[in-house]
Structure 1
Amino acid sequence: MIETLRKYVPVLEWGRHYTRDALQNDMMAAVIVTIMLIPQSLAYAMLAGLPPEAGLYASILPIILYAIFGTSRALAVGPVAVVSLMTAAAVGQVADQGTMGYALAALTLAAMSGAILLAMGLLKLGFLANFLSHPVIAGFITASGILIAVSQLKHIFGVSAHGHTLPQIAGSLIANLGDVNPITLVIGVVSTVFLFWVRKGLKPLLIARGMRPKLADIAQKAGPVAAVVVTTLAVWGFGLSARGVSIVGAVPQSLPPLTMPSLNFDLLTALFVPALLISVIGFVESISVAQTLAAKKRQRIDPNQELIGLGAANLGAGFTGGYPVTGGFARSVVNYDAGAETPAAGAYTAVGLAIAALALTPLIYFLPTATLAATIIVAVLSLVDFSILKTSWGYSKADFAAVVATILLTLGFGVETGVSAGVILSILLHLYKTSKPHVAEVGLVPGTQHFRNIHRHAVKTDPAILTIRIDESLYFPNARFLEDYVLDRVGKDGPIRHVVLMCSAVNVIDFSALEALEALNLRLKDMGIALHLSEVKGPVTDRLKKSHFLDDLSGRVFLSQYDAWVALTGAPPPANAAE
Structure 2
Amino acid sequence: MLKRFFPILDWLPKYSKDQLSGDLSAGLTVGVMLIPQGMAYAMLAGLAPIHGLYAVTVPLILYAIMGTSRQLAVGPVAMVSLLTAAGIGALNPATPELYLAYAITAALMVGVLQLAMGVFRLGFLVNFLSHPVISGFTSAAAIIIGLSQLKHLLRIDLPKSEHIQEMLVALAKNIANTHLLTIGTGIVAIVVIKYGKKLHKSLPTSLIAVVLGILAVWGLNLTDYGIKIVGEVPSGLPGISTPSFDPGVWKSLISVALTISLVGFMESFAVAKAIQAKHKNYTVDANQELVALGVANLGAAFFQGYPITGGFSRTAVNDQAGAKTGMASIFSAVLIILTLLFLTPLFYYLPNAVLAAVVIVAVIGLIDFKEALHLWKEDRSDFWMLMATFIITLTMGIETGIGAGVVLSLGMVVYRSTRPHIAVLAKVPNSSFYRNIQRFDGLELREDVLILRMDGPLYFANLNYFKDQLGKLMMERGNALKAVVVNADSINHVDSSAVHALKDWVAEIQNQGIKLFFTGLIGPVRDIFAKTGLVELIGENHLFMSNQQAVDAFDNLPTANGQTQKYKDYALQSNV
TM-score above 0.5, yes or no: yes
Alignment of 1:558 onto 2:541? no
Give, in whole Å, the separation in 1 of the partners of 2:108 and 2:524: 41
Equivalenced residues, count: 553
Give the distance between the partners of 1:166 and 1:233, measured in 2 at CA: 35
State the alpha-carbon separation in 2 of the partners of residues 314 and 509 from structure 1. 43
**Which residue is equivalent to 1:30?**
27
Structure 1 residue 154 corresponds to structure 2 residue 182: no
> Structure 1 residue 441 and structure 2 residue 436: aligned?
no
For 1:362 and 1:251, how far apart are their aligned partners in 2? Answer: 6
Q: CA RMSD in A?
A: 2.0
Indicate conservation of the 8 Å contact 2:194/2:205, yes or no.
no
Superposed displacement of residue 13, structure 1: 1.4
Residue 534 (structure 1) aligned with residue 501 (structure 2) = no
554 and 118 in structure 1: CA distance in 2 versus 1, 3 angstrom threshold: same
Q: CA deviation at 1:412?
A: 0.9
Could you say which residue in structure 2 is the equivalent of 1:208? none
SS in structure 2 at match of 1:443: strand
Aligned-partner residue type, residue 464 of structure 1: D
Query: CA contact under 8 A between 1:50 and 1:98: conserved in structure 2?
Result: no
Deviations 1:325-363 (A, max 9, x none): 111100000001011111221122111111112211111
Q: Is 1:410 paired with 2:393? A: yes
What is the distance in 1 between the residues matched to 2:533 and 2:99?
Answer: 60
Comparing 261-270 and 549-558, the one that deviates more: 549-558
CA distance 1:525–1:320, change in 2 (3 Å): farther
* Structure 1 contact 525–554 (Cα < 8 Å) conserved: no
Paired amino acid for 1:488: K
1:479 aligns with 2:477: no
Residue equivalent to 2:177: 179
Shift of 1:311: 1.4
Q: Structure 1 residues 287 and 168 mapped into 2: Cα distance closer, same or farther (>3 Å)?
A: same
- Pairing partner for 1:347 from 325, 330, 336: 330
Q: Amino acid of the residue matched to residue 170 of structure 1?
A: L
- 1: distance between equivalents of 2:271 and 2:193? 24
Mean Cα displacement is larger for which, 403-412 or 490-499? 490-499
Q: Aligned-pair distance for 1:544?
A: 4.3
Q: Displacement, 1:540? A: 2.9
1:109 maps to which residue? 106
Query: Shift of residue 249 of structure 1?
Result: 1.5
**Conserved in 1, the CA contact under 8 Å of 2:241 and 2:302?**
yes
| TM-score using structure 2 length | 0.92
Q: Is the 8 A contact 1:73 1:341 kept in 2?
A: yes
Structure 1 residues 187, 481: CA separation in 2 closer, same or farther (over 3 Å shift)? same
Deviation (angstroms), 1:458: 2.9
Rounded to whole Å, the distance in 2 between the matches of 1:371 and 1:55 is: 15
Question: Is the Cα contact below 8 Å between 1:74 and 1:336 reproduced in 2?
Answer: yes
CA 1:197–1:503 in 2, change beyond 3 Å: closer, same or farther? same
Tell me the secondary structure at the aligned position of residue 137 of structure 1. Answer: helix
Assess, with a 3 A threshold, how the Cα gap between structure 1 residues 259 and 512 changes in structure 2: closer, same or farther. Answer: farther
1:368/1:338 CA distance change after superposition, 3 Å: same
The aligned counterpart of 2:453 is: 469
Q: 1:515 to 1:127 in 2, by over 3 A?
A: farther
**What CA distance in whole angstroms lies between the structure 1 residues aligned with 2:129 and 2:297?**
21
Unpaired stretches in structure 2, ≥5 consecutive residues: 558-563, 565-576
> Which residue of 2 is the match for residue 249 of structure 1?
231
- What is the aligned partner in structure 1 of residue 503 from structure 2? 518
- Match for 1:499 among 484, 487, 490? 484
8 Å Cα contact 1:47-1:88 kept in structure 2: yes
Give 1:570's match in structure 2, choosing from 544, 556, 559.
556
Shift of 1:300: 2.1
> How does 1:303-382 map onto structure 2 within 5 Å?
303-382=286-365
Bigger shift: residues 483-492 or 279-288: 483-492
Q: Contact 1:95 / 1:105 at 8 angstroms: preserved in 2?
A: no
Out of 229-238 and 515-524, give the one that drifted further.
515-524
Give the C-alpha shift of residue 307 in structure 1.
1.4
Between 525-534 and 281-290, report the one with greater CA deviation.
525-534
| Structure 1 stretches lacking a partner, 5+ long | 204-216, 573-579
Query: How many angstroms does 1:473 deviate by?
Result: 2.5
1:536 partner amino acid = L
**Counterpart of 1:131 in structure 2: which amino acid?**
F
User: Is residue 2:12 matched to residue 1:15?
Assistant: yes
Task: Give the 4+ runs in structure 1 shifted more than 4 A.
Answer: 543-546
Q: Hey, what does 2:46 align to over in structure 1? A: 49
Q: What amino acid sits opposite 2:303 in the alignment?
A: T
Kindly provide the amino acid, as one letter, of the partner of residue 185 in structure 2: I
Please, what TM-score do these two structures have when normalized by structure 1? Answer: 0.91
1:76 pairs with 73, 76, 79, which one?
73
Superposed CA deviations along residues 518-565 of structure 1, whole A, max 9, x for unmatched, are 332233233233433221222333444443433433573323333323
Q: Give, in whole Å, the separation in 2 of the partners of 1:430 and 1:362.
A: 54
Q: Give the secondary-structure state (helix, strand or coil) at the position aligned to 2:429.
A: coil
Residue identity opposite 2:284 in structure 1: I
State which drifts further: 464-473 or 281-290.
464-473
Provide the residue aligned with 1:192 in structure 2: 190
Cα deviation, residue 97, structure 1: 7.7
Relative to structure 1, the CA distance from residue 20 to residue 177 in structure 2 (aligned partners, 3 Å threshold; closer, same or farther) is same
Equivalent residues of 2:146, 2:359 under 8 A apart: yes
Residue pairs, 1:445-456, within 5 angstroms: 445-455=428-438, 456=440
Cα distance in 2 for residues equivalent to 1:546 and 1:127: 32
Alpha-carbon separation, structure 2, partners of 1:557 and 1:122: 45
Work out the CA distance in 2 between the residues paired with 1:466 and 1:246. 77
Distance in 2 of aligned mates of 1:319 and 1:86? 20
Query: 1:411 Cα deviation (Å)?
Result: 1.0
